[in-house]
Structure formats: structure tokens, C-alpha cells
């Protein structure tokens, strides 16, 4: 009888679920990221704008406070898609800075320290790894995007009443879907940057460069070709256009619309995923 048949007994007890195993990595990562002082400061600072917006909502719903002012103030204080679009726009800047600080920390050290074989020798696929890293960023970034966004929406709905909610429920779903899309895009950029350069610090710069440079390049194409369609190549504009589509805010006719921009974002995300799949390998062969 082979020795292993006598001595080796395979574990046949209960196993945790796939999702529970997947969440192991995010749990540790969240703890590590939130222990960084700069991240906490950034999180706190990024809540100022939602607080201002909350004040704005309160003001908007108390007409007695601005009765003496002209009619223009009513339009200015209206809580509609435009209001939430501006809120999302500002808040996404904080999310971007947060992603450029926290994002590269997730993948680059694993690559630089050859830790991938360690992960992939567990029952985890490459896609599990990517997903778990995205969950980390989803958790962190949603603290400054989805959570305050939905809180503001809930606040407005509770003050303005059921009618407002019945007419504007799509703003809530718009905030949720819009921010989720944004977080997915930013996470992919952060991970792809760090997988590409493998250095945490440079990857952070690359995340910022990605957004700034594409915005600059899109503007350059627009001005050289005297067109407007290239704005869709600017990820910030593209995601804004998608948000406007979701929040039912009008986009100037000569600019690319929500669907065109959504297609560009999808294509971009596909490219970033392909880059990640190419770079995230357990073994790097050096010729």
C-alpha cells in the first residue's frame, strides 16, 4: 500500500463559500488602507462637499427662508438632476485622488514582491484576484461617492415628500449606477497602472496622468480637427455624460451623448481588463 494511503487523509469537512474566501483579501486590505493617515484625512475632507450639499437641500426645501428673494433663486435652489450631477462631478475628484493613493497599493506590491504565486497557489483565479481588489476600491470609494450621494437623495426625498420621490426616483438609481460605473472604471485604471509599472508610487502618478492626459489629448483633437466628438475620449467628460443621461440632464447637442460615451467607457474598460489579464501572471518568464 502506498504510504500516502495510510498516512494522508484529505480534509473532507465543510468549506466556506467562494464569496467568503473572496472577501478575505478585501478585509485585510481595508484594514491596511484605513490605517493610513492620509487616506483618513482625504476621507474626512471629501465629506465637506456632501455636507454643503445637505445644507443646500435643507435651504431648498424651506421656501420661507428665501421668500424675499427674486424668482431666479427658485431655479438656482431646485434639487434636480443638475444638482446631483454637480454633486457627483465634484465628489468624483476626491474619489480619483483616493484611488490614485489607495489603488496602486493593492496590486503593485504583489507584483513587485512576487506575491502572485502565493495567491494563485490558493483556490483563487486571476479573475477572483481582480474582483477582490476591485471590491476593496468599491468599499473605499463608495464611502465618498455612493454613500453620501444616496444619503443626500434620501434626505431630499424625506423632506420633499412622496410626490417628489415618485417623480424623481430615477435620480437615486442614477447616483447608484453612475457612481458604481465610475468606481469600476477608476479601479480598473488604478489596477492596470500598477500592473503595468509595478511601482506603487509611479502607478499613482499614472492614474492621475491617465485622466489628465486623456482629457488634454481629447481637447487637443477637438481643437485641431475643430470637432467635439473627441470629448468622448476624455474619461472625465465621458462619465459625466453618462451621469447626465442617467440623471436626465441635457447634454449640448454638438457634444457626444450618453450612449456614445458609455460605449467608449466600455471599450476602455475592456482594454484595461485585457492589460490586467496579461500582466497578472503567477510566473514571469525572463528570457
Partner 1 sequence: MTPYQQIWTIARLELGRVFFSKRSFWVYILAIFPSIIFLGHALEANLKKRNWGGDRVTAAELLDKVQSGMTDEQVLALAGKPVSDTTRKRRVRRNDEDPEAEKQPEVRRYVMYFDGKRRVDLRFEDGKLVSRNARELMNFEDDRRVYATMFQFFYLRLGIFFGCLGIFINLFRGEMLDRSLHFWFLAPVKREVLLLGKYLAGLIAAAFIFGTGALLSFLSMVLPHDPNEVATYWQTIGPEHAFWYVAAAALGCVGYGSVFLAAGLLLRNPILPAIVMLIWESINGFLPDVMQKLSVLHYLQSLCPVPVPLPNDMPAVLKMLLAPAAPSSVPVAVLGLLAVTALVLFAAMQSVKRLEINYGTE
Partner 2 sequence: MSAPEIVFDNVSKFYGEVLGVNRVDLHIPPGITSLVGPNGSGKTTLMNLMTGLIHPNSGVIQVRGLSPYAPEKLMRILGYATQYDAGPRGATGFEFVHTGLVLFGFPKAECERRAWQAIERLGLTAAAKRKVAGYSKGMRQRIRLAQAIAHDPEVLILDEPLNGLDPLVRAETIALFRDYGANGRHVILSSHVLQEVDVFSDQVILISNGMIVAEGQIKSVREEIHEHPSQFLLHCRDASRVASLLFAEPHISEIKLAPEGAGLLVLTRNREAFAAALERIALSGIDIDGVIPTDENVDALYEYLIGGGK
Binding site for partner 1 (CB under 8 A): 38, 75, 78, 80-81, 97, 100-101, 112, 167-168, 170, 196-202, 204-206, 208-209, 212-213, 216-217, 219-221, 223-226, 248, 250, 253
Q: How far is the CB of 69 from partner 1 (least distance, A)?
A: 17
Only one residue has cell 478585509, namely 27
Q: Which of 6, 37, 226, 287 binds partner 2 (CB under 8 A)?
A: 287
Closest approach of partner 1 to the CB of residue 4, in Å = 40
Query: Measured from the CB atom, is 113 or 158 closer to partner 1?
Result: 113
Q: Would you give the DSSP letter of residue 64? A: G
Among residue numbers 226 through 285, which ones bind partner 2 (CB under 8 A)? 285
Q: Which does 75 bind (CB under 5 to 8 A by kind): partner 2, partner 1, none?
A: partner 1
Q: Minimal distance in Å, beta carbon 238 to partner 1?
A: 18
Indicate the DSSP class of residue 63.
G
* Binds 101: which of partner 1, partner 2, none (CB < 5-8 Å by kind): partner 1
Q: What, of partner 2, partner 1, none, does residue 286 touch, CB below 5 to 8 Å by kind?
A: partner 2
Q: Give the binding-site size for partner 2 (rule: CB under 8 A).
A: 3
Shortest reach from residue 204's CB to partner 2, in Å: 20
CA–CA gap between residue 134 and residue 26 (Å, rounded):
9
Runs of H (alpha helix) within the chain: 3-7, 18-22, 24-34, 37-45, 48-60, 72-76, 81-102, 104-112, 116-120, 126-142, 146-160, 162-197, 200-225, 235-246, 258-279
User: Cβ of residue 197: shortest distance to partner 2, in angstroms?
Assistant: 12
Q: Which of 1, 3, 283, 286 binds partner 2 (CB under 8 A)?
A: 286
Q: From CA 47, how far away is CA 78, in angstroms rounded? A: 22
Q: In the bound complex, what is the minimum distance in angstroms from residue 123's beta carbon to partner 1?
A: 31
Query: Got the DSSP string for 193-259?
Result: HHHHH--HHHHHHHHHHHHHHHHHHHHHHHHHHT-SGGGGGSHHHHHHHHHHHHTT----TTS--HH
What letters, b where the CB count within 10 A reaches 16 and e where it falls short, cover 163-187?
ebbeebeebbebbbebbebbbbbbb
Which stretches of the chain bind partner 2, using CB under 8 A?
A: 285-287
Amino acid at each position: 500500500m502506498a504510504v500516502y494511503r495510510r498516512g494522508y487523509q484529505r480534509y473532507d469537512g465543510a468549506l466556506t463559500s467562494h464569496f467568503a474566501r473572496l472577501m478575505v483579501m478585501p478585509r485585510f486590505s481595508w484594514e491596511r488602507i484605513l490605517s493610513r493617515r492620509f487616506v483618513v484625512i482625504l476621507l474626512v475632507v471629501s465629506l465637506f462637499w456632501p455636507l454643503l450639499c445637505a445644507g443646500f437641500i435643507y435651504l431648498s426645501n424651506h421656501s420661507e427662508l428665501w421668500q424675499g428673494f427674486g424668482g431666479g433663486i427658485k431655479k438656482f435652489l431646485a434639487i434636480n438632476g443638475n444638482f446631483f450631477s454637480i454633486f457627483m462631478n465634484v465628489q468624483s475628484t476626491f474619489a480619483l485622488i483616493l484611488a490614485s493613493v489607495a489603488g496602486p497599493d493593492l496590486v503593485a506590491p504583489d507584483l513587485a514582491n512576487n506575491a502572485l504565486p502565493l495567491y494563485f497557489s490558493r483556490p483563487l483565479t486571476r479573475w477572483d484576484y481582480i474582483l477582490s481588489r476591485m471590491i476593496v476600491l468599491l468599499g473605499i470609494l463608495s464611502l465618498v461617492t455612493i454613500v453620501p450621494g444616496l444619503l443626500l437623495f434620501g434626505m431630499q426625498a424625506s423632506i420633499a415628500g412622496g410626490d417628489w420621490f415618485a417623480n424623481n426616483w430615477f435620480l437615486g438609481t442614477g447616483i447608484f449606477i453612475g457612481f458604481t460605473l465610475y468606481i469600476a472604471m477608476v479601479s480598473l485604471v488604478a489596477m492596470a497602472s500598477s500592473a503595468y509599472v509595478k511601482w506603487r508610487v509611479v502607478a499613482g502618478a499614472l492614474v492621475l496622468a491617465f485622466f489628465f492626459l486623456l482629457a488634454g489629448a481629447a481637447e487637443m483633437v477637438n481643437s485641431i480637427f475643430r470637432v467635439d466628438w473627441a470629448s468622448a475620449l476624455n474619461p472625465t467628460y465621458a462619465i459625466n455624460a453618462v451621469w447626465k443621461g442617467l440623471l436626465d440632464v441635457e447634454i449640448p447637442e454638438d457634444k457626444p451623448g450618453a450612449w456614445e460615451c458609455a460605449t467608449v467607457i466600455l471599450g476602455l474598460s475592456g482594454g484595461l481588463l485585457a492589460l490586467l489579464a496579461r500582466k497578472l501572471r503567477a510566473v514571469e518568464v525572463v528570457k
